[in-house]
Amino acid sequence: MKPTTILLLYLALAGLDLLWGVFLAYLNWRSVRAAGGKVPPELARSVTKEEAAKASAYSQARLRFGLLEAPLMTLPTLAVAALGLFGLLDAALGSLVSGFPLAPAFSRAALFFVALSLASALLSLPFSLWSTFGIEKRFGFNTTTVRTWILDGLKGALISALIGLPLLALLMVFMDATGGLWWLWAAAIFSLVNIALSIVFPLVIAPLFNKFTPLPAGTLADRIGELADRLGFKMRGIFVMDGSKRSRHSNAYFTGLGAVKRIVLFDTLISTMSEDEILAVLAHEIGHEKRRHVLKMTAVSIVLAFVGFWVLSILMGWGELYAAFGFSEPTKEAIMLIFALVSGPTTFFLTPLFAAWSRRHEYEADAYAAKAAGKEAMASALLRLNKENASNLWPHPLYAFWNYSHPTLRQRLAAIARVEG
């Protein structure tokens, strides 16, 4: 296959991916707009007109933002690829580091990815500002300051560099030192690294951004302890995160593996929910653990890592592929970038499969919570979360099918009502 044909095929697939995403977002925006903020009949007793009006306005604002952001973030990348500018950058860096006495190949790759990261950050900067200090502030959700926002960005960049650059060096070593089966060793080691990071994240990385404090003693703590004992759930603890430092959105999540697993509650969640509702949310998170959802997702991610590295090893020997993206020589950073560019457009049709799998997990966790904490409490907690986050009450069915990792509110409430026992 000629380089020009490869490039045109990539541009066509990437364009199809973009257009399909924009089309789905447009359907979703039109669905919300057509509803006119009217409360769905099934929620007439649970959602006020004011809450529905806010959810409608907020959903439309977020969707309009997405309709603008998606093409403006994607089209520059496609233009750079079509013009061969990635290859020109790599060649220029190759000339720059040619006289380096130590690790010129790694220096070239590191500088290449640092340059791309900086370019991506600059491109996304206005969208991040608009989202945080425009839309989120307008609807009363944003509580972060410019200083905190800047520090978050700097911390994120530093952590990415401290983790990413050593992993890049390790991958390049595997490519050079382990022969044709380098991908097998690399996939195994990187899978172990990902597991290690999932353990380290709640203990080391997350506290760099938020403060996590043990849930204070009281009736809530006592009831949570009783619930955990009754369900046979062992963990390091329940922690409260100062989510209100950045946003008024509410959430809860399960993190960590093995002995360091913990449940994290946003302080905004605790301040707005009743104890029964909080227990239902906790039971939902425990349900994910009891149904082994985290373990299953970890296993699938490991399988995908092996498949990804195997595909990468095959692509490495395809000379026309480098030329298609403007690279004059087959460098390691070139094939890594090309793989990153083509993986999305060539697999976007798998999105609804993973979304459906995730929704199945959510149904199972909801059912577990409904039995453990009561159907009324679980339904009330979902309604409260929807209200506090002004979530979309009128998603388009096709958009939800393709993108939603969680069932819609009405689907979840209907499923909870059918739970027996």
Q: State how far the Cα of 285 lies from the Cα of 268, in Å rounded to an integer.
A: 17
Are the C-beta atoms of 410 and 41 separated by less than 8 Å? no
Question: Is 285 known to be catalytic?
Answer: yes
Of the listed 333, 362, 366, 388, which one is catalytic? 366
The angle formed by the CA atoms of residues 344, 74 and 136, to the nearest 5 degrees, is 105
Question: Is 176 known to be catalytic?
Answer: no
Q: State how far the Cα of 369 lies from the Cα of 390, in Å rounded to an integer.
A: 23
Q: What is the Rg, in whole angstroms, of the alpha carbon atoms belonging to the chain?
A: 24
Question: What is the number of helices (H) and of strands (E) in the chain?
Answer: 17, 4
Are the C-beta atoms of 63 and 32 separated by less than 8 Å? yes
Q: What is the DSSP string of 109-120?
A: HHHHHHHHHHHH
Q: State how far the Cα of 118 lies from the Cα of 291, in Å rounded to an integer.
A: 41
Q: State how far the Cα of 334 lies from the Cα of 164, in Å rounded to an integer.
A: 16
Tokens standing for 315? 């692509």
Strand 237-241 relative to strand 262-266, pairing: parallel
Are the C-beta atoms of 113 and 340 separated by less than 8 Å? no
Of the listed 285, 289, 333, 362, which one is catalytic? 285
Strand 212-214 relative to strand 262-266, pairing: unpaired
Query: Active-site residue numbers?
Result: 285, 366
